[in-house]
């Protein structure tokens, strides 16, 4: 059998263009952001080097930063601890009880491909007061639970959880597809052998499905966490960060500082914190799943 021998220079010639584009679109902006975070700059005029003053201001004198960071982690927590486990359960149930599951999985995936503007406007209508046709409030009123009705997107203590619910609904199908694909790749012979040994149903899922989809589950967890930290578009469509910054997260706070108040240097420092949190979280999640995989292998 002939083996095609390619020189290292030929490989480099094919890789180099993609590598240049990748570095230019990923690493160069990060380096620029790191430098911009050390400046007092409006993004247009003359800049002034202020060192770590932006970070000192962020951690000690920004009334929006810490609440927005807390809401960001709240969204990430719901995504990892609620959305991903539900997606795994649904994927298991579809695999077990649905003969032709592709259509059902595609149906769950439909909200992922819809425009965020459409989803935001749709759910704003759902959350409207009953007098304006809001479905949730109308249902609660019709069953005698009028005291449970709220102005879901204008009450500061409730608005962020209303948006979290929409985010979980929107991306549930994305994680169902990932988990379903992972389960489908598990050889059926393993389940047949386990059934002979008395491991069937959810017992087989506990000792076979869950350990074997851990690498796929790790991907879902990482993507859900990073996606939650980058949440911006849905919040801007539904509330714009209001009322009174009650739905502000790090990404929207960064946008407001950079482009609405023209504090580009300060916005860059918020972006740097966001990148750092993403990096640290990804490393910790990988370490956790590495230990879990060693435990089950």
Per-residue pLDDT of the chain (297 residues; tens, 9 = 90+): 444 566 788 888 889 999 999 999 989 999 999 999 999 999 888 999 999 999 999 999 999 999 999 999 999 999 999 999 999 999 999 988 888 898 999 999 999 999 999 999 999 999 998 777 789 999 999 998 888 999 999 999 999 999 999 999 999 999 999 999 999 998 888 888 888 877 777 888 888 888 899 999 999 999 999 999 888 999 999 999 989 899 999 999 999 999 999 999 999 999 999 999 999 999 999 999 988 888 876
Question: Is residue 100 domain-shared with residue 205, that is, in the same domain?
Answer: yes
Q: Does residue 245 lie in a domain region? A: yes
How many structural domains are present in the chain? 2
Residue 285: CATH number of its domain = 1.10.3720.10
CA atoms within 13 A on the CB side of 283: 6
The residue segments making up the domain with residue 3 are 1-37
Residues in the chain: 297
Q: Does residue 42 lie in a domain region? A: no
Nearest to 231 by CA among 124, 71, 36, 32: 71
3 state DSSP class of 179: helix
Q: Does residue 61 lie in a domain region? A: yes
Please name the helix (run of DSSP H) or strand (run of DSSP E) that holds residue 33, with its range, or none: helix 28-36
Q: Does residue 19 lie in a domain region? A: yes
């Amino acid at each position: 059998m002939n083996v095609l021998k390619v020189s290292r220079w030929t490989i480099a010639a094919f890789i180099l263009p993609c590598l240049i584009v990748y570095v230019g679109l990923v690493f160069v902006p990060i380096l620029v952001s790191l430098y911009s975070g050390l400046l007092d700059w409006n993004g247009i005029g003359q800049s002034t080097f202020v060192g770590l003053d932006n970070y000192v201001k962020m951690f000690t004198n920004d009334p929006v930063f810490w609440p927005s960071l807390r809401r960001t982690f709240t969204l990430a927590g719901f995504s990892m601890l609620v959305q991903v486990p539900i997606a795994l359960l649904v994927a298991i149930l579809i695999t077990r009880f649905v003969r032709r599951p592709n259509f059902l999985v595609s149906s769950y995936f439909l909200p992922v491909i819809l425009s965020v503007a459409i989803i935001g406007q749709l759910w704003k209508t759902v959350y409207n007061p009953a007098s304006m046709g809001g479905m949730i409030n109308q249902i609660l009123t019709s069953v005698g639970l009028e005291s449970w009705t709220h102005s879901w997107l204008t009450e500061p203590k409730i608005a962020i959880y209303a948006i979290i619910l929409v985010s979980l609904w929107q991306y549930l199908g994305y994680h169902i597809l990932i988990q379903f694909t992972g389960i489908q790749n598990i050889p059926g012979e393993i389940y047949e052998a386990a059934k002979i040994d008395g491991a069937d149903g959810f017992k087989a899922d506990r000792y076979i499905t869950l350990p074997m989809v851990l690498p796929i589950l790790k991907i879902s967890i990482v993507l859900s966490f990073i996606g939650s930290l980058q949440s911006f578009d849905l919040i801007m469509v539904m509330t714009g960060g209001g009322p009174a910054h009650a739905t502000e997260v790090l990404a929207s706070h960064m946008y407001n500082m950079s482009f609405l108040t023209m504090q580009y240097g300060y916005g860059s420092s918020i972006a740097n914190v966001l990148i750092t949190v993403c990096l640290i979280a990804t490393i910790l999640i990988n370490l956790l799943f590495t230990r879990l995989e060693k435990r089950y292998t």
